[in-house]
A and B are shown apart, each in its own frame.
Chain A
């Protein structure tokens, strides 16, 4: 089985400072990292590799510095790493570039990508890529297994989960926090930089033209951006049963229920 795990390099939001006076983002001291849900996607790919014979190819599209996310992926256990080096583009073109790369990578069984990107929280690239590749997709995956040429995934819904199946090849978008990504071991980290290879392609190698891409870039019309609705935090009442029931009753009465 061949799994392509797509990784995007992003600023760690915790290290980005918001300038209150100017209303802008200050990234001078910010640190870049693997977009968290992409990292969960890679972890899912590596788990599949652990349970069956599979090859995991880490793929990234971005500036040359994105190589670091691929080195980290190699350290975590990816078998190969490919960087498409190019200027950043909007989501629709990013999906186009990735689909071309997929063509060059040859036959695959699964493409795994994070559901959202850190920052604005857009979830465009995965679904667009699946459309371009003409493969079925399961979004917001929490857990996946493959058997008999099918992917079976637990997909998150606003309330609970749906258990979905898709014939391979397929694309999965994995939810942030779906799993706990493994640590790259220390020997693997040094080896990822000193011994392993990252294949680098440019958009030209993929039969695309940077000028045309730049011209088409930014044509996406943003209709609306909105803050995610804040869900009220649940509360766990602990302690012995009698005590807990008393507290619970108190809370319910307090709400007039």
Chain B
């Protein structure tokens, strides 16, 4: 049996709750469109049940040690198609073992989830540096980025604390998602966003772009030139939205 949920965390927890209620081991828990294999297995669409999800989450919170909760949250934002299934096994083991769960890193149900969480955590940390704002008319600061994982909600708190007096938007155009921050209320929110017209950049934006490019070009020490190391630290895919690599 395959359980299909709507992609939200509540939807995922609803699927887990359903499997637990019926004591079944689903072959997979996914939010993707079914593929050919679907022909030979039954697919059950899980309706998101916020109450059931809330109950299960309360149980998870009181049973799993705090580190595991964080791992769960991060791994859920991975773009891995198997994440639902992996997290299901992870949760089942965690609920069965409780506080001892933290010392089971080497377990086959734990390690893959831990690795996913680590990959997501690393990408989120990396994007704290790679998000680059441009000032738009109307005093809005806009940044575009194209991460592998769905990290917007994971990095939003960092930017909310740091740029608390700026009206900013961080946009993931590939997924059509964005977080928007309102400095008056000090709150951020997720939203869908598509940019169709050219951005109305301010005059200062041009000046600072030029200043930054010139500054950046001066930084490298010729004797230590090492483009391979540069590429290893900053893969080409991350350079798209960085002004210092404009057109290079």
A and B are partners in one complex rather than unrelated chains: no
B residues in contact (CB < 8 Å) with A: none
A residues in contact (CB < 8 Å) with B: none
